[in-house]
């Protein structure tokens, strides 16, 4: 760690341990003509690979290639990264931030949502559910500051950060918390989810997207048969054992997209597998990921049911963030009840929200919604335009359209995809949002 000032209470042995465990980071723009290389060397411990990937994906960097290798108690990662436009990193403040963040992952990382109350919701997805949730929060005088909503295999998971709209303080009154829990639990249960709907209130400490994966995993969304299992976009996952080296070899092939590597590594880590070697590669729109893993106790996958469970869980991990539907971006002055009004408009026009990212910055709402029709099919462009007319054409913009719309002559700005992907053989190894982190002021 650069310019480290040691606390007086540390003895020389403790200082040595910290030096040995502090990752060494090198960022190189000279080696590769198309990407910036980020090299990380560190003592190996469970979860440190996920934390390194988290640093890069939280900045919305694209991981085009990666090589991961563990030798005894140490590991080495090399990531080939670009910005969302496919360019190498040149901003010195960004490079410095990456260096500092990676050098401190030994100490663990979590979201910084001080002063907010976290609401965790899981249940059966249905059209209009999100509208009902936001309507309840508005009625209970809760101001939504940040939120992320995922839907997958007919289930919904949401992590919503709120504060009291009158005082601006976290909600700590036990009676108010009880009212929030009771109202939202009733909304989630609806008429057909009496058993599995869950609603909890806590102070947020876990990385939001990792927590969403954990919530859906606990909800066992991976056990439900996905509608698009036979689609060409559905991930292909294989798991085999390499008995000679006591590794289990996991291969994932799928369409490339942002944060793909994070989603896969997050799932492997939370299932308590350790990645010893991996190669990630992307080619065009495809991503190829291969991991050599063991349990924390050093053993490979030991049974057919366990192998099938790993396959199901990784398929779910890839599918949870898949962007289904039209991407709508809302940018306007925030106010109490705005989310309830916008999502009610979606519901009244037969639009279903499949994923959402809600944020506020200096009293401005900056929200992203992915919407389909009630059956999960592409929404009618005329309905989208009618919704935009009602909410405000300058406030709600279409930023991404399914291919069917482009074939009709429509053209809109596209978001570049990214991911991570595959060690073609261990033989090749023997024989991996700036705005949201406050690094830039403008959202666009």
Domain segments of the chain as ranges: 12-108+240-261+273-295+420-429, 117-222+326-401
> What's the full length of the chain, in residues?
444
Q: Say which range, 91-105, 132-146, 395-409, has the weakest mean pLDDT.
A: 395-409
How confident is the model at residue 231, as a pLDDT?
58
Q: Say which range, 3-12, 121-130, 351-360, has the weakest mean pLDDT.
A: 3-12
Is it the case that residue 437 has pLDDT exceeding 60?
Answer: no
CA nearest neighbour of 420 among 39, 57, 24, 55: 57
Q: What is the pLDDT of residues 130-164, one digit of tens each?
A: 999 999 999 999 999 999 999 999 999 999 999 99
CA–CA separation, 25 and 38 (whole Å): 7
How confident is the model at residue 228, as a pLDDT?
53
Average pLDDT, the chain: 84
Asked if 221 contacts 153 with a C-beta cutoff of 8 angstroms, the reply is yes
Q: Quick one: how far is CA 323 from the chain centroid? A: 12
Provide mean pLDDT across the span 326-345.
95
CA–CA separation, 399 and 376 (whole Å): 19
Q: Say which range, 185-199, 278-292, 317-331, 334-348, has the weakest mean pLDDT.
A: 185-199
How confident is the model at residue 233, as a pLDDT?
72
Q: What is the pLDDT of residues 45-63, one digit of tens each?
A: 888 999 999 999 999 999 9
> What ranges make up the beta strands (E) of 125-246?
142-152, 155-164, 198-202, 236-242
Provide mean pLDDT across the span 318-322.
90
> At the topology level of CATH, where does 117-222+326-401 sit?
Alpha-Beta Plaits (3.30.70)
- Which residues, at least 6 apart from 82, have a Cβ–Cβ distance to it below 8 Å? 34, 35, 36, 61, 62, 64, 88, 89
How confident is the model at residue 99, as a pLDDT?
94
Provide mean pLDDT across the span 209-221.
95
pTM of the predicted structure, to 2 decimals: 0.83
Burial of residue 435, with CB atoms counted within 10 A of its CB: 0-12 exposed, 13-18 middle, 19 or more buried: middle
């Amino acid at each position: 760690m650069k310019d480290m000032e040691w606390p007086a209470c540390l003895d020389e042995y403790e200082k040595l341990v910290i030096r040995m465990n502090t990752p060494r980071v090198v960022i190189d723009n000279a080696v590769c003509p198309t990407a910036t290389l980020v090299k990380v060397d560190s003592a190996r411990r469970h979860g440190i690979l996920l934390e390194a990937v988290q640093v890069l994906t939280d900045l919305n960097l694209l991981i085009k290639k990666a090589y991961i290798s563990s030798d005894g108690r140490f590991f080495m990662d090399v990531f080939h990264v670009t910005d969302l436009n496919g360019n190498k990193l040149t901003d010195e403040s960004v490079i410095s931030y990456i260096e500092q963040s990676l050098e401190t992952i030994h100490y663990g990382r979590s979201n910084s949502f001080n002063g907010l109350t976290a609401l965790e919701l899981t249940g059966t997805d249905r059209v209009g559910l999100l509208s009902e949730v936001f309507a309840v929060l508005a009625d209970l005088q809760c101001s939504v500051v940040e939120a992320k909503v995922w839907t997958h295999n007919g289930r919904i998971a949401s992590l919503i950060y709120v504060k009291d709209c009158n005082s601006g303080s976290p909600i700590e009154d036990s009676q108010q918390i009880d009212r929030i829990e009771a109202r939202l639990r009733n909304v989630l249960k609806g008429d057909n989810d009496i058993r599995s709907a869950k609603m909890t209130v806590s102070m947020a400490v876990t990385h939001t997207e990792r927590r969403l994966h954990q919530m859906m995993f606990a909800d066992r969304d991976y056990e439900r048969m996905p509608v698009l299992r036979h689609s060409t976009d559905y991930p292909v996952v294989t798991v085999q054992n390499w008995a000679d080296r006591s590794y289990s070899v996991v291969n994932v092939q799928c369409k490339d997209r942002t944060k793909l590597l994070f989603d896969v590594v997050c799932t492997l880590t939370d299932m308590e597998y350790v990645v010893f070697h991996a190669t990630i590669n992307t080619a065009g729109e495809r991503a190829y990921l291969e991991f050599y893993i063991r349990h924390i106790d050093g053993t490979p996958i030991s049974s057919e049911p366990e192998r099938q469970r790993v396959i199901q869980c990784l398929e779910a991990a890839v599918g949870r963030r898949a962007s289904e539907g039209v991407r709508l971006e809302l940018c306007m002055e925030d106010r109490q009840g705005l989310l309830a009004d916008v999502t009610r408009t979606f519901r009244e026009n037969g639009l279903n929200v499949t994923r959402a990212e809600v944020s506020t910055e200096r009293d401005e709402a900056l929200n992203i919604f992915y919407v389909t029709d009630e059956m999960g099919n592409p929404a009618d462009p005329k309905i989208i335009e009618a919704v935009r007319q009602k909410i405000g054409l300058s406030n709600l913009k279409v930023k991404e359209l399914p291919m069917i719309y482009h074939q009709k002559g429509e053209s809109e700005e596209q978001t570049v995809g990214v991911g991570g992907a595959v060690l073609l053989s261990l033989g090749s190894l023997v024989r991996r949002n700036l705005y949201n982190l406050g690094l830039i002021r403008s959202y666009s």
